[in-house]
Chain A
């Protein structure tokens, strides 16, 4: 089955630690995205990548970093510089040039 997987589903982190969220897709999509969702809010774009080895900042990139070494993978690192990292993180992908995005199941990050 084609789709997007995110792991882990739940993640707990101590303050001051970096943590990496995984996102993998087997849809052969060129474009991938990371969004953050806070309780009762819409999604805000963190980073996106249209092709391998290239990515752009979204609206709230501060405190986050990404890499795109493979077409299938777009991991997100939440660094200690992110002031309020507790949130729900969603990864998405799309065919380049087409804007319909397909989403993974999400990772819920809690900072203790």
Chain B
């Protein structure tokens, strides 16, 4: 089973700042990584798929990069609605599909 490790667990930033979230895979997953945003009481929302492709309707301030075992989600300038938990997910080697443990982006 591929393990995804997200860091940091919590990121404390102010609106307007840049957020950089990391997801590391236990073995190569090529580009088969997605990122989700989840707010309390809501289902996850797909942001990025296949490492760097923005999903439909996702603002350009969200970008993804990486391949192999190291991936990054960048939010270029945090908006108030961006404070949430972010999860990565791999689909390269399955079953099972696996998710990372999440990074909480909180207001500083």
Whether A and B are associated in the same complex: the answer reads no
Q: Which residues of B contact A (CB under 8 A)?
A: none
Q: Which residues of A contact B (CB under 8 A)?
A: none
